[in-house]
Amino acid sequence: MIQSIKKILFINLLILLNAVSSAQGTWEKINVPTIQHLRSVCFTDSLYGWVCGDSGIILHTRDGGATWARQNSQVIDEISDIFFLNRNLGWASSLNYVTEPYGTTLLKTTNGGADWIGYPYPKEDIFISCILFRDSLNGWVGGRPHMIAKTTNGGIDWTQAAVDTSILAFFPVLSIHFYNDQYGYASGGMFDIAGVTWRTTNGGEMWYAIDPTEAPADEVHELHLFDSVNVIGAGGDPDFGYGVGMIRTSDGGFHWNYEELEVQGNAYDIDFRTDTEVWAPLGPRQKFIYSMDGAVTWTPVDTPDSTAIFDVTFPDSLHGFAVGREGAVLKYKPKIMPYVPPGSAYEDGFILYQNYPNPVTMHTTIKYFIPSFGKFHHLATGKSNSYLRMLIFNLLGDEVAALKNYNLTPGEHQLEFIPGNLPGGIYFYQLQLMSPGLEIPLTPPRKLVLQK
């Protein structure tokens, strides 16, 4: 009987999750305390995020965009990019075009932006447009007029990477991504001259630019890496008569194919919500384009309130954020939310939170709340020979792990889950009450992604 109930619940969960992944949602404009143009957005998870832009503006949210607080960046120049490795450790680039010496001030925080410290980039007339850190020490930056530089000490010192000497090798760099320690890609270019991609197969020791015969006429603003050899880039020509363009490689960047989509505008970013749903903002065209088939076919849609959007991110499949001109911040609204509605059998005051970090590599923390009321409270708090367990199960509904807690008091608690030898993939977890002859689910399941 218990197994039958579990399978029914599991099938219903899969139906809901499939509905979310197969139907595009919408965007809504949310309030933030600025009207400055916003250039970049970064979220480490569904709750913690930062946006940055003109006049040294950095805003931070800890509740998924419900409220925002301004942080003191210590600068008054435009902040072009912001990147956080986790909830505490982040970097940003401030560009000075006004007073000598011209160039970039790199900002760093170790406490989530409560304090920012600026470090002038050692070379003048370099304007950093993209930041990527793979861990707390090793990072990359790219910029104008051309630079791909690496640090191995958290941003204190930088070394320009070696680049081949092709005709397009030394154009501006707008984005950098690494698939693993060895395979990386960068993109950039100059308007009405050439779009450029670069590839490295040795961890950035040497970068190779696209063959000029395969290069588009305008910048490649952003890339998405499917794996080490399959990559898509977004760009286009904002002039009338041309339009949004996508550039792709399926052989590790040795050859690229460029396709115009017959949609007016220029794609300034590209980000995947799921394996098949992808969005790209068109900036001053006041539109998005989206695809539901993995970037094969595209559909344009207006942005809320005709906002000009330039940067978009999805920290997970249910949460998305985008930023643009005049303090515009948008939040993604999934068409169907995978949760059990009020009045369900789960409602008894127990709360199961999303694990963090998610995706999981080595370990993750799962928090939950035990109420001081309800028909199961006396069982959960140890006034019987029962206990709480956190059930971990796979896509087939099979139990793969169970974490147990005994004699707990009302309030918030947490468990540490170490996946060990479990293979990478999608799992679910659920808080249950175990009592003699009873197996009672106390909360809806939540999704956990394991990366190996």
List, for residues 120-163, the tens digit of each pLDDT value: 999 999 999 999 999 999 999 999 999 999 999 999 999 999 99
**Amino acid in the structure at residue 180:** N
Cα dist from 199 to 154, 162, 396, whole Å: 23, 12, 39
Residue 309 has pLDDT above 90, yes or no: yes
Tell me what pLDDT residue 437 has: 64
Fold annotation for 24-333? Methylamine Dehydrogenase; Chain H (2.130.10)
- 348 and 371 Cβ atoms separated by less than 8 Å: yes
Peptide bond into 304 cis (omega under 30): no
3-state SS of 214-260?
A: HCCCCCEEEEEECCCCCEEEEEEECCCCCCEEEEEECCCCCCCEEEE
**Amino acid in the structure at residue 263:** V
- 226 and 272 Cβ atoms separated by less than 8 Å: no
- 332 and 46 Cβ atoms separated by less than 8 Å: no
pLDDT tens sequence across 18-70: 444 445 789 999 999 999 999 999 999 888 999 999 999 999 999 899 999 99
**DSSP tally for the chain: helices H, then strands E:** 2, 38
pLDDT band at 318 (very low <50, low <70, confident <90, very high): confident
Give the whole-number percent of the chain exceeding pLDDT 70: 88
pLDDT tens sequence across 10-32: 444 444 444 444 457 899 999 99
Q: What gap in Å lies between CA 120 and CA 386, rounded to an integer?
A: 60
What is the average per-residue pLDDT within 84-106? 96
Token pair listed for 80: 């072009």
Residue 109 has pLDDT above 70, yes or no: yes
- Select, from the ranges 84-88, 376-380, 391-395, 446-450, the one with the highest average predicted confidence (pLDDT): 84-88
Cα dist from 270 to 9, 90, 149, 290, 302, whole Å: 35, 22, 23, 9, 16
Please choose, from the candidates 64, 12, 42, the residue with its C-alpha nearest in 3D space to the C-alpha of residue 311: 42
On average, the pLDDT of the chain sits at 88
Residue 342 has pLDDT above 80, yes or no: no
Token pair listed for 100: 């000598």
Q: In angstroms, what is the C-alpha Rg of the chain?
A: 24
Fold annotation for 2-11+343-450? Immunoglobulin-like (2.60.40)
Residue 183 φ/ψ, nearest 5 degrees:
-95, 125
- 328 and 307 Cβ atoms separated by less than 8 Å: yes
Tell me what pLDDT residue 248 has: 98
Please choose, from the candidates 69, 111, 72, 106, the residue with its C-alpha nearest in 3D space to the C-alpha of residue 89: 111
Q: Residue written as tokens 């930023």? A: 323
pLDDT band at 237 (very low <50, low <70, confident <90, very high): confident
pLDDT band at 2 (very low <50, low <70, confident <90, very high): very low
Cα dist from 323 to 26, 132, 222, 320, whole Å: 15, 19, 15, 11
Tell me what pLDDT residue 378 has: 61
Peptide bond into 145 cis (omega under 30): yes
Token pair listed for 114: 């409560």
Q: What gap in Å lies between CA 313 and CA 220, rounded to an integer?
A: 17
Tell me what pLDDT residue 365 has: 93
Three-state DSSP at 56 gives: helix
Residue 338 has pLDDT above 50, yes or no: no
pLDDT tens sequence across 240-279: 667 899 999 999 999 999 999 989 999 999 999 988 899 9
pLDDT band at 95 (very low <50, low <70, confident <90, very high): very high
pTM: 0.73
Q: Residue written as tokens 């002038």? A: 120
Please choose, from the candidates 12, 68, 16, 3, the residue with its C-alpha nearest in 3D space to the C-alpha of residue 331: 68
Instruction: Parse the chain into domains and list their residue ranges.
Output: 2-11+343-450, 24-333
What is the average per-residue pLDDT within 415-422? 91
Q: What gap in Å lies between CA 196 and CA 189, rounded to an integer?
A: 5
Better-predicted residue by pLDDT, 377 or 285: 285
What is the average per-residue pLDDT within 405-428? 85
Tell me what pLDDT residue 11 has: 45
**Amino acid in the structure at residue 112:** G
CB atoms within 10 A of CB 354: 18
Tell me what pLDDT residue 349 has: 77
